[in-house]
Chain A
Amino acid sequence: MQDMDEMAVRAALRRVVAADEPPVGALVGEALRAGLRLRRRRRLLAAGAGLAAVTAVAAGVPAVVALGQPPPAATSASSAGGGPGPRVHVRLPAGFHMVVPVVPARIPAGVQVPATAKSVASLLLAVLPAHQPTSYLAAGSQPDRSAVASVDVQTSQASGSVQVQMGQPDGSRLQSCAAARAADGAVIGCKDYAAAGGSEVQELVIATGVGSGNRVADGYSYVFAATVRRSDGVRVLVQASNFVPGPASLPPLTMAQVVTAAADPRWSWAMSSAFVTHAQRLRLTAPVPRACAQVQPADPRC
């Protein structure tokens, strides 16, 4: 009897599945894109490894790139140097200057309370340029070390993610550009300078391949990263990277926008109580309306 029932259930399940099965569609492509997003996010969230995460995400093929223009094809190969796949010489265009003015933002008044992962995520949404659709917000924190948040951003010309990592105050200085280049061959541009108020700023451009078996033909993913070390010792890293590798793909933010976001003085381990309370309503890893980033009366969509 039991065997007969099992046989019948098997037959029933086969018939259920056989009926009305729609086409698979773009399942594999969508899964791959989601996987690339997830992998980037996990690398960032698992970093806890301080602000060296800038170079940790870069594990691939360096390339020639001109900001604001599609990256040209790789031109000359050199020795592998221990990395996977062939490598190419890297340089930025002559005379290129990455430094941008840092514009202070208004610091919210009110009672200050410890920042949470969600308040960091909420502030990330708030510092992004207006009118950019966002989705798939993620955040995490290790209160004694760092807080991180990531969000996908879609513009008319680019699709990618923007991440922030805020480190606890410490006495160490930012690593030099020479050290950054030495630590990661994928760093193809670096500039460091002092900004107003005693802050140090470092801008990095990183070009990475996709997957562990990187090859020039796979195309590149670009990262525009800016680290600001303020006079109070707090470090803020903001980086923007594109999802879809390819010759015409750049991150969804310009370097100027990345630096402006990292220099926002609201990044702090103490934030406005109202802001932190409101941020707790955010739902992570789901499409998020931009209104959720604002300290406003309760929004049922958040």
Chain B
Amino acid sequence: MDSTEEFIEFAAAVGPRLRRTAYLLCGDWHTAQDLTQTTLAKVFVAWHRINSGEGAYAYAHRTLVNCYLAGKRKGKHAEFPLGGVPDRPSGPETTELRLVMLEALASLTPKARAVLVLRYWEDRSVDQVAAMLGCSAGNVKSQSSRALDRLRALLGDSLTELRVPD
């Protein structure tokens, strides 16, 4: 298997997961698709010097977050978390929670949102998130705490209902 084939196999394996993370970061699937494509293209360029397996996976996630934050800094990616039409119908409860949660996420700063997604969606440790974002562990903790406070204030009862494990 040559390096291009290895990359294709890797991209096929991690692409869906990366795109879900991108969706939580940006709030709409079209932008998430673009972010993921850009990320995978950059991974391809660096493929010869990054290790396969977990190394490449971590590199891809770091690249994804950097692309997202860089895009927010440039103001390139407009975000329409509430106006998008779902690609297929879903139940009323799921839709309501999704909209409320997306609204809550959209109210966070890009960096706080990245911290939240990495900590609670990607299950990264504080130290790992700090390394990915290039900040201190203390900064990650404070951003995480503030983000949770914000979600608690915005979600209220919805968050209480979700405290029961799935």
Contacts and interface: CB of A to CB of B under 8 A. Distances in A.
Binding partners A and B: yes
A7 interface: yes
A122 B46 CA distance: 29
A199 to B, nearest CB: 35
The B interface, classified by DSSP as helix, strand, loop or mixed, is: helix
Size band of the B side of the interface? 35 or more
A60 B29 CA distance: 38
Contacts of B42: 35, 38
Nearest to A28: B11
A27 B101 contact: no
A210 B7 CA distance: 13
Contacts of B165: 7, 11
A38 B41 contact: yes
Q: Of A21, A42, A210, which is in contact with the most chain B CB atoms at under 10 Å from its CB?
A: A21
Contacts, number: 144
A17 B24 CA distance: 7
B45 A19 contact: no
B126 interface: no
B2 interface: yes
A20 B29 contact: yes
A10 interface: yes
A2 interface: yes
B12 to A, nearest CB: 5
Contact of A27 (B33, B121, B151, B162): B33
Contacts of A197: none
Interface of B: 2-5, 7-8, 11-12, 15-16, 19-20, 23-24, 29, 33, 36-45, 48, 86-88, 90, 94-95, 97-98, 101-102, 116-117, 119-121, 145, 148, 151-152, 155, 158-160, 162-163, 165-166
8 contacts: A7-B163, A20-B90, A24-B16, A31-B44, A38-B44, A210-B4, A211-B4, A214-B2
Interface of A: 2, 4-22, 24-25, 27-28, 30-32, 34-39, 42, 210-215, 218
Given A13-B101, A27-B11, A212-B3, 20 more contacts: A6-B120, A9-B159, A9-B162, A12-B101, A12-B162, A15-B98, A19-B86, A19-B90, A20-B88, A21-B29, A27-B19, A28-B11, A31-B40, A32-B8, A34-B44, A36-B44, A37-B41, A38-B41, A213-B3, A215-B2
